[in-house]
């Protein structure tokens, strides 16, 4: 699925509540042809809960530097593991 559009947010330097606000905007833009990729210094539990409530597919992983990589999409056919950069 190389035709997918990535909506990316590096939130490692952003202060609360800016990461959640920007992520929520990105989730509203999701369709079957794109996905959201966020890098954050914390595991954003409220965002993950909101995405799950909307029946979105979610993958989150912590890398060796302690940063969290969060991928969210609407399309159930997208394999988020293949898009992970950890």
Tens of pLDDT along 16-71? Answer: 999 999 999 999 999 999 999 999 999 999 999 999 999 999 999 999 999 999 99
Does the pTM exceed 0.85?
yes
Are 6 and 35 contacting, i.e. CB atoms less than 8 angstroms apart?
A: yes
Residue 5, pLDDT > 90, answer: yes
> Cα(54)–Cα(85) distance, rounded to whole angstroms?
24
Strand partners, 69: 39, 61
């Amino acid at each position: 699925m190389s035709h997918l559009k990535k909506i990316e947010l590096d939130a490692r330097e952003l202060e609360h509540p800016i990461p959640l606000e920007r992520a929520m905007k990105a989730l509203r833009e999701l369709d079957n042809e794109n996905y959201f990729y966020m890098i954050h210094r914390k595991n954003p539990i409220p965002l993950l809960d909101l995405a799950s409530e909307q029946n979105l597919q979610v993958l989150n992983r912590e890398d060796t530097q302690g940063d969290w990589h969060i991928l969210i999409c609407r399309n159930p056919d997208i394999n988020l593991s293949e898009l992970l950069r950890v």
